[in-house]
Amino acid sequence: MKLRKIICILLAVWLAVGACVYSASAADEADSYPDLLAGDADRDGDVTIVDATKIQRVVAELDDMDGLTRQVAKNEFSAEELTILDATNIQRWLAELFSASTGEVKKPAFIWRDGEYISVIEDYQKYVDAFMEENDYYGVLYVTRNGRVLCGNAYGKVSREITIDTQFPIGSLSKQFCGTAIALLEERGLLSADDTLEQYFPEYTVGKDITVSDLLHMRSGIIDFINQARPGVAYPVSADNTAQQNKQIILNWLYGKNLRFTPGDHYAYSNTNYFLLAEIVEQVSGMKYSDFVTENIFKPLHMDNTGFYEDLYESENLAEIRVEDFEPEEPTLKGLTQGAGDIVSCAKDMDKWMTSFRTGALLSKESIARVTAAVDNYGYGWGVYGSTLNHNGAIAAYLSADMTCPSEAYNFFTVTTGITPNKMEKDLNALRSSIIAKTSL
Q: How far apart are CA 7 and CA 1, in angstroms?
A: 11
The predicted pLDDT at position 45 comes to: 33
Give me the mean pLDDT over the 390-397 stretch.
88
pLDDT surpasses 80 at 388: yes
Return phi, psi of residue 157, to 5°.
-160, 135
Q: What is the pLDDT of residues 52-100, one digit of tens each?
A: 344 444 444 443 333 333 333 333 443 333 333 334 444 444 444 443 3
pLDDT surpasses 90 at 409: no
* Percent of residues, the chain, with pLDDT higher than 90: 47
Q: What is the pLDDT of residues 128-163, one digit of tens each?
A: 888 788 778 889 999 888 888 888 899 888 889 999
* Top-level class of domain 139-439: alpha beta
The predicted pLDDT at position 368 comes to: 97
Lowest mean pLDDT among 188-197, 374-383, 404-413: 404-413
The predicted pLDDT at position 75 comes to: 37
Structure confidence at residue 420 as a pLDDT band (50, 70, 90): low
94 touches 57 (CB < 8 A): no
Q: How far apart are CA 175 and CA 172, in angstroms?
A: 6
Give me the mean pLDDT over the 31-42 stretch.
29
The predicted pLDDT at position 305 comes to: 97
Task: Give the closest residue to 156 by CA, choosing from 412, 330, 417, 407.
Answer: 417
Average predicted confidence (pLDDT) for the chain? 76
The predicted pLDDT at position 101 comes to: 35
Q: How far apart are CA 105 and CA 27, in angstroms?
A: 5
Give me the mean pLDDT over the 110-119 stretch.
58
The predicted pLDDT at position 118 comes to: 58
pLDDT surpasses 50 at 27: no
The predicted pLDDT at position 256 comes to: 95
The predicted pLDDT at position 336 comes to: 94
Q: What's the pTM? A: 0.74
Structure confidence at residue 47 as a pLDDT band (50, 70, 90): very low
pLDDT surpasses 80 at 22: no
The predicted pLDDT at position 272 comes to: 98
Helix axes 421-439, 2-18, angle to 10 degrees: 10
CATH 3.40.710.10 location in the chain: 139-439
Q: Any idea of the CA torsion for 70, 71, 74, 75, to the nearest 10 degrees?
A: -160
The predicted pLDDT at position 41 comes to: 30
Q: Look at residue 41 and give its three-state secondary structure.
A: strand
pLDDT surpasses 50 at 17: no
Structure confidence at residue 213 as a pLDDT band (50, 70, 90): very high
pLDDT surpasses 60 at 234: yes
Query: Which residue type sits at 170?
Result: I
The predicted pLDDT at position 384 comes to: 93
Structure confidence at residue 171 as a pLDDT band (50, 70, 90): very high
Structure confidence at residue 412 as a pLDDT band (50, 70, 90): confident
The predicted pLDDT at position 309 comes to: 93
Q: What is the pLDDT of residues 261-300, one digit of tens each?
A: 999 999 999 999 999 999 999 999 999 999 999 999 999 9
